[in-house]
Structure 1
Amino acid sequence: LKKRRETMYLQTWHGTPLKRLGLDMDEVHMPGTNTEQYKKNFSAQAKEWNYLLSPNLYSSAIFKRAFDFRGLLLETGYPRNDLLYAPDRQQQAEQIKQSLRLPPGKKVILYAPTWRDDEFVKKGQYRFNLKLDLEQMQSRLGDDYIVLLRMHYLIAEHLDLTAFDGFAYDVSAYGDIAELYLISDLLITDYSSVFFDYAHLNRPMLFFTYDLEKYASVLRGFYFDFEAVVPGPLLKESDQVIDYIEDIATQSKQYEEKYTAFQERFCSLDDGKASQRVVDGLFRAEIK
């Protein structure tokens, strides 16, 4: 992107960082680039940004360093999370469920894993391996639950759920993931930044981290002790995920204190009015 000098560029970014970003990455495992070229391109792009949104104090420190950002940081919370605090969020949730034609009376599990940088055969051709055992999930949870799968677009096209009609739904192409948060009773994820946003709803989360050691040490690396901070269990087998969900009410109680601490650290700025703060911040900056 080459912007004109008189154009103001607001970079919204797309999440609170767990995985190392930009200039903080030691190695880059992506097709079509290498570490040196990736960082050079990243730095050049960041120099185009006039304003950068931050969801919390934790992110602000990382963004400034990892992006070598020299513009104005707007520490406002994320406008995209305003929906999660909307006064009519319950009514909106019902409308969203109807639009997706989900069966009434079933609880909703949202599975939203991260993109793995090394899941490629070559540039433009990607591997796909769903580790969740949907057959077992349907057998043991199907009376009470349905599953929504939100996969990265580069691998979603390989997803075939025809054998799980009425239980598993592909929502990878759904426009606004915040609306999927709103209709979900619990979240299964891994290292995706979705869990920072989902925490605003105070609903159970579990982390299906079957490749934790590889991901943390080889692919990206983390900014904090993942297991010590996240407000839910780290599970490596599909049957462990199912066991936990079968006893979700009891199991999730053990994470209440961690959940509160997590929200205080990462979620304190969001209150449904972040969009207004961003607009106000932009106009104040322009007047100056």
Structure 2
Amino acid sequence: MNVVYDAFEGRYSDNPRALYERVRDARPGLRHTWLCDPRFADGFPADVETVPFGSAEARAALEAADLVVANTHLDLAWDKKPGAVYLQTWHGTPLKRIHHDVLWAPEGVLPRLDLDVARWDYLLSPNTISTPRLRDAFGFRGEVLEVGYPRNDVLVGPGSDAVRARVRAALGIPDHVTAVLYTPTWRDDEFYAEGDVELALDVPSFVRDLPEDVWLLPRLHYKMTGRGAAAAHDRVVDVSRYPDVHELYLAADAMVTDYSSTMFDFAVTGKPLLFFAYDLESYRDTLRGFYFDLEPLAPGPVLSTSDAVVAALADLDELRAAFAERYAEFQRLFAHLEDGHAGERLDWLFRQPDRAPQLAATD
């Protein structure tokens, strides 16, 4: 059985990585091939078989696959062989509108991506709220598997403390440091424009106004990696190229985000969340649109200035207490399936020859 994986157009990451690492030793009869962006080749283990993303070898691998596992559109020319199965895991609970629900998209992009949607056999959903939104946004009429996200199993697994220690050591973060992960989402107008993008968060202010044992870990969205640079400082560690953000959730002690779906995964950890929503009105009303209002549900303060973010980070204990009830409700709504067993609920996909769904579609 040939299995081909892709995460974020050629990275070793996310739900495909979690599923691969779950089955690679447990099912020795499988052949695994990853699509790899050469710019991120150093993120792949040395023993992983890869082919360059977008190459003729990638097309051949996809067309020979019995099972394809991807976490975003495979915007490539290829023909799925008869009998092959394509699992689309997607890559987050949607707050911001996606695919056909967006307020704006460049001409021709969505019809082209629909060609990939037509290949999907199964679509993963991380929670009950997301299921109808994902189905409707993609116009997907196949099986929706509402099982949670395999990538989040590590957040509640028995090895989480060891992962935290390993990642912090690799990044040079001392044990006593409070590490703040900053995960801004992408903005369509910036992505389709030319040039670099500056971080919205005022890094010099962060460094100047917070204690020396508070460090910043900026991580740009995968679509924007390489389009900007964090300020150079000993207390700023750019983790945009770190292979898997879920390990960073364990390494971090708090998160600052905006409208990124990272908020839903990070909430599994119970650690403080802050929202730097400096362009809330324009992003919500003009650029992209939301599926629900952020402010009433946010499990942390929604702030419009960098100074306010820095001030809130100065007292995380107060923040925890102030948002404890709302945080618990947020977890109930969006993390109710994150029990450490999402990957286990998908084991049937990797069985041969009979791979019949063991979960009913959720409408």
Q: Write out per-residue CA displacement over residues 48-83 of structure 1, whole angstroms, 9 at most, x where no aligned residue.
A: 000111101111111111111121111110000011
Structure 1 window deviating more from structure 2 (106-115 vs 142-151): it is 142-151
Q: Write out per-residue CA displacement over residues 210-267 of structure 1, whole angstroms, 9 at most, x where no aligned residue.
A: 0001100111100001111111111111110111011221133121111111111110
8 Å Cα contact 1:126-1:155 kept in structure 2: no
- Counterpart of 2:285 in structure 1 is 217
8 Å Cα contact 1:126-1:154 kept in structure 2: no
Q: Which amino acid aligns with 1:210?
A: Y
Q: Which amino acid aligns with 2:265?
A: D
- 1:148 is paired with a residue of what secondary structure? strand
Q: Write out per-residue CA displacement over residues 18-61 of structure 1, whole angstroms, 9 at most, x where no aligned residue.
A: 11111222321xxxx31xx2332232221100011110111111
Q: Which amino acid aligns with 2:170?
A: S
Match of 1:255 among 319, 323, 343: 323
8 Å Cα contact 2:199-2:230 kept in structure 1: no
Q: Write out per-residue CA displacement over residues 185-227 of structure 1, whole angstroms, 9 at most, x where no aligned residue.
A: 1000000000000000011100000000110011110000111
Task: Establish whether residue 129 from structure 1 lines up as the match of residue 205 from structure 2.
Answer: no
Matches within 5 A, 1:236-251: 236-251=304-319
- Counterpart of 1:168 in structure 2 is 236
Match of 1:117 among 188, 208, 215: 188
Over 3 Å counting, the alpha-carbon distance change for 1:91 and 1:282 in structure 2 is: closer
- Once the two structures are TM-superposed, the CA of residue 144 in structure 1 deviates from its matched residue by 2.1
- Once the two structures are TM-superposed, the CA of residue 133 in structure 1 deviates from its matched residue by 1.6
Matches within 5 A, 1:65-76: 65-76=136-147
- Counterpart of 1:54 in structure 2 is 125
Match of 1:6 among 63, 78, 83: 83
- Once the two structures are TM-superposed, the CA of residue 95 in structure 1 deviates from its matched residue by 1.1
8 Å Cα contact 2:191-2:224 kept in structure 1: no
TM-score (normalised: structure 2): 0.73
Paired with 2:86 and 2:223, the residues of 1 have a C-alpha distance of 27
Between Structure 1 and Structure 2, which shows a larger proportion of helix residues?
A: 1
- Counterpart of 2:210 in structure 1 is 141
Over 3 Å counting, the alpha-carbon distance change for 1:174 and 1:189 in structure 2 is: same
Paired with 1:22 and 1:132, the residues of 2 have a C-alpha distance of 28
What is the aligned-residue identity percentage? 41
Match of 2:251 among 160, 183, 189: 183
- 1:274 is paired with a residue of what secondary structure? coil
- Once the two structures are TM-superposed, the CA of residue 152 in structure 1 deviates from its matched residue by 2.7
Match of 2:116 among 7, 28, 45: 45
Structure 1 window deviating more from structure 2 (87-96 vs 198-207): it is 87-96
Q: Which amino acid aligns with 1:70?
A: R
8 Å Cα contact 2:181-2:218 kept in structure 1: yes
- Counterpart of 1:98 in structure 2 is 169
8 Å Cα contact 1:196-1:266 kept in structure 2: yes
8 Å Cα contact 2:219-2:239 kept in structure 1: yes
- Once the two structures are TM-superposed, the CA of residue 98 in structure 1 deviates from its matched residue by 0.8
More relative contact order in 1 or in 2 (CA 8 Å, sep 6+)? 1
TM-score (normalised: structure 1): 0.91
Q: What is the aligned-residue RMSD (CA, Å)? A: 1.9
Q: Which amino acid aligns with 1:62?
A: R
Q: Which amino acid aligns with 1:274?
A: A
Paired with 1:24 and 1:96, the residues of 2 have a C-alpha distance of 37
8 Å Cα contact 2:204-2:231 kept in structure 1: no
8 Å Cα contact 2:148-2:342 kept in structure 1: yes
Structure 2 residue runs without a partner (length 5+): 1-75, 358-363
Q: Which amino acid aligns with 1:141?
A: L
Structure 1 window deviating more from structure 2 (57-66 vs 125-134): it is 125-134
Aligned residues: 279
